[in-house]
Copies of this chain bind each other. A is one copy, B any other.
Amino acid sequence: MTRLNSLTAERDDQLSRAFAALADPTRRDMVARLAVRDATVGELAEPYDVSIQAVSKHIKVLSDAGLVSQRRDAQRRPCHLEAEVFNLMTRWIERYRQQAQERYERLDAVLAEMRGDDQPTESEVRKRGGAS
């Protein structure tokens, strides 16, 4: 932990909160519904058989993660989905997914070469054994 890049600490926290928020099926369902239209806490709570306080907590989690915002409309607190943090998550995931995919695509070639010809190229050796 100590060695994690401290420059990305804040962003890490946001990512952590965002991923954690979406780890709950109920919250993901709320997000899905908020993508269609804004909704008050009561409206959001309606489909689930949990207390409205529980739903309020869920919204707080989503809100702390920056995934939703709430405005005020009389007694109501309509929730609105914020796209920005989703971008952050997508970018994080895509970065590593692509690296993994690229490595995977190269794997076939490497394996074929190793099977057909015992002498893999220098760059492939570097990749497998590789330094730092």
Contact = CB atoms under 8 A, between A and B. Distances in A.
Interface residues of A, number: 48
A48 B3 CA distance: 7
A37 B96 contact: no
How many copies make up the complex?
2
Given A1-B49, A19-B19, A94-B90, A100 B35 contact: yes
11 contacts: A1-B25, A4-B29, A23-B23, A31-B96, A34-B100, A35-B95, A37-B103, A37-B130, A86-B100, A90-B90, A90-B94
Interface of A: 1-4, 12, 15-17, 19-20, 22-26, 28-29, 31-32, 34-37, 47-50, 81-83, 86-87, 89-90, 92-97, 99-101, 103-104, 127-128, 130
